[in-house]
Structure 1
């Protein structure tokens, strides 16, 4: 546990300059974009040059860029992501309202992706080079090549419009109706998870095949242990070490991909919030959403690194 604690402290310290770099990148991009706060604030009006100048002075928009960056970081440390120039509401409040739905969608997508990848990856490895393996490899290859937004449109047409099994869009709170919530989240979760499941299936299949070829597996089975016990207790655990590393990056993909899927299915999550911010020319909202997603991606990868250390004794010994 001491090794894990040291690694956690080390990785956390590395996160500080990484997050500062992410904040700097987003800050600079937003400052050079066409979405200017003064234009959004006077949207629909014809402000004079004096009014625009007064707004810029009051909000510190004419200060040097380094000064504005330091002030922005200081505000973030105090939990202030800025204020929407349109709604006059704190961006943090909007993010807190929208983030739970994005996390729900990401979590459901992760569950579906991992479940499908385990089932098909292990099956393909057990029936290596036979027709189940070849079929699974073909389908997974198609799944890797299929973009999530294209799958979303197909599912809406086939399962929602043609058959009416699921709603085409909208969100139902689980507190109001759990079954309604599940129906409203099924298609978005499937659309988001299938490409990730296809990638993980191929990785798990490869790891399982390599592990099944090792001497200890043949020895265990030759000594009389049932193959299902050897595979479930030893082979699967050792084979999941490499896919776990890839899973960390895929969780980041799920979190970012949820933004696109939410827009397609009209879910009031972070995706809709960011699209509205871009459409309305509200840079503070866009900046808050991007920073939240980027921070979530970094934190998820830190957690995966720690889990990788916990389940891999060789890495732990080397550390």
Structure 2
């Protein structure tokens, strides 16, 4: 318990410089962007030079860059992401509206990837060098090489346009219809999860094969324990340690892939709003979205680290 608390405290303290670095990076990138927030705010209207100057002064765009960054960090520490120069609405309100959908999509993709990766990885290891193993290897290699957007295009062409089983785009809230929500999220979640599922399949297979070759497995089998008990109680748990270490990074891939998938399927989540904010030159929104995604990535990896400690008692004893 003390080890877990120490690790949590260390991760929380590391979150502060990480967020400051992310904020600085996005701040610098947006300042070098050719899009002028003042011109974007007037949405193509014939604004006079005086109006543009007044807008820049009111929004602190004429202040030195270091001062602008300090103002932003100060607001961030108070939980204030600023105000959009386009909609004049607090960025935090937009994040609160878009974040649940991205969480739903990422969670569904993660569940699908875990189920598929574990099922195929374990099956491949148990039938090592047999035809199921060879077939799963081919499928997993194909999945690793196939980007999520390409899988999404194939699924839309086959299941949405060809068979008409799913919508090509759009989002239905679970508050309106659970069936409609599942129908609208199915293809995006599957497309997002397939590359991750392929990676997990290969890692689970490798870990399972290593565990199955150890002496304790042969001893347990020689002692008459059923294979289901040996694999389920000992081998699988020990084999999950390595996949857990990779899972945190793969969740980051899911969060990043959600940006593209949400845009392709017209899902009003963090990804689609981020792309629109970049195009509009809405600095406050871009910074708010990117920092929110960074915080989510760190928190998810924190959970994965805790699970890693739970799955690996030796690490707890030596930490």
Whole-Å separation in 2 of the counterparts to 1:43 and 1:183 = 36
Name the residue aligned to 1:259: 259
Partner of 2:211: 211
Name the residue aligned to 2:86: 86
2:174 is the alignment partner of 1:174 = yes
Deviation at 1:285, TM superposition (A): 1.7
Aligned 8 A contact 2:23 2:287 in 1: no
Q: Deviation per CA, 1:74-101: give whole Å up to 9, x if none.
A: 1111121111112111111011001101
CA distance in 2, matches of 1:33, 1:170: 30
Measure, in 2, the Cα distance between the counterparts of 1:301 and 1:64: 36
8 A Cα contact 2:30 2:281, kept in partner:
no
Checking the alignment, whether the CA contact within 8 Å between 1:171 and 1:185 is kept in structure 2 is: yes
Q: Corresponding residue for 1:66?
A: 66
Q: Distance in 1 between matches of 2:179 and 2:197?
A: 24
Return the TM-score normalized by structure 2.
Answer: 0.97
Instruction: Say whether 1:77 aligns with 2:80.
Output: no
What TM-score, normalized by structure 1, do the two folds share? 0.97
Is the contact made by 1:4 and 1:310 (CA closer than 8 Å) also made in structure 2? no
Paired position in structure 2 for 1:15: 15
Q: Could you tell me how far apart the structure 2 residues matched to 1:11 and 1:287 are?
A: 22
What CA distance in whole angstroms lies between the structure 2 residues aligned with 1:253 and 1:294? 12
Q: Distance in 2 between matches of 1:86 and 1:157?
A: 35
* The 10-residue stretch of structure 1 (115-124 or 11-20) with the greater mean CA deviation from structure 2: 11-20
Partner of 1:297: 297
Q: 1:11: how far off?
A: 1.9
1:52 and 2:59 equivalent?
A: no
**Is this contact kept in 1: 2:200–2:243, CA < 8 A?**
yes
Question: Distance between the aligned counterparts of 1:318 and 1:62, measured in 2?
Answer: 54
Q: Counterparts of 1:137-286 in structure 2 under 5 Å?
A: 137-286=137-286
> 2-side partners of 1:22 and 1:278: how far apart?
16
8 Å contact kept, 1:36–1:283:
no
Hey, what's the Cα distance between the residues in 1 that align with 2:181 and 2:50? 50
Gaps of 5+ in 1: none
Structure 2 CA distance, aligned partners of 1:231 and 1:62? 65
**Residues 39 and 281 of structure 1 are in contact (CA less than 8 Å); yes or no, is this contact kept in structure 2?**
no
Q: Distance in 2 between matches of 1:228 and 1:56?
A: 68
Q: Deviations over 1:237-278 (max 9, x none)?
A: 000001001001111111111111011111111122112212
Deviates more, 1:11-20 or 1:257-266: 11-20
Q: Retained in 2: the 8 A contact 1:35–1:283?
A: no
For residues 48-106 of structure 1, give each alpha carbon's deviation from its aligned partner in whole angstroms, at most 9, with x where no partner exists. Answer: 33322222222111212111111101111112111111211111101100110110000
User: What residue ranges of structure 2 are gaps of 5+ in the alignment?
Assistant: none
Secondary structure at 1:46 match in 2: coil
CA RMSD of aligned residues (A): 1.1
Given the alignment of the two structures, is residue 107 of structure 1 paired with residue 107 of structure 2, yes or no?
A: yes
Q: 2 CA distance for matches of 1:82 and 1:115?
A: 40
